[in-house]
Amino acid sequence: ARIQQLEAEIAEQESIKNMMPALGEIFNINRELNNASRELAYRSEKHEAREAAIKQLNEMVQIESAMRAEEQSELVRQLEREVLESIKGQEGAIIEKCIQDLKALGQKQAAAK
């Protein structure tokens, strides 16, 4: 029984010895897997950074657009206020001028018929 056990151990050691050349291949495959994993991680981070930069730029464009729209709205309000203030007290004269213009337009149309 002892002899059989020793022979089994010797056979096991021989099979391990035959696996030694494949060990170098296993290390190379492992190294390539690690390199591929690092490359994938690098590319993923690069992609995420690109997406984050694009998102920030889009947010900046939206903010600038909103600011521009608000500035334009404020300019329109200011112009409206200034126009209304500049014609204040002249309403009667403006209405009279409009009536005269309408009468003249009516006379032109009547003469054209």
Report pLDDT digits (tens) over 22-54: 778 888 999 999 999 999 999 999 999 999 999
What phi and psi values does residue 22 have, to the nearest 5 degrees? -70, -20
Burial state string for 51-60 with b = 16 or more CB within 10 A and e = fewer than 16: eeeeeeeeee
Q: Is the pLDDT of residue 59 over 90?
A: yes
Report the candidate in 88, 110, 90 with the shortest Cα–Cα distance to residue 98. Answer: 90
Structure tokens at 113: 């018929």
Q: Which residues of 62-88 are buried (b: 16+ CB within 10 A; e: fewer)?
A: eeeeeeeeeeeeeeeeeeeeeeeeeee
Predicted TM-score (pTM) of the model is 0.51
Task: Using the predicted structure, report yes or no on whether residue 21 has a pLDDT greater than 80.
Answer: no
Of 20 and 4, which is predicted with more confidence? Answer: 4
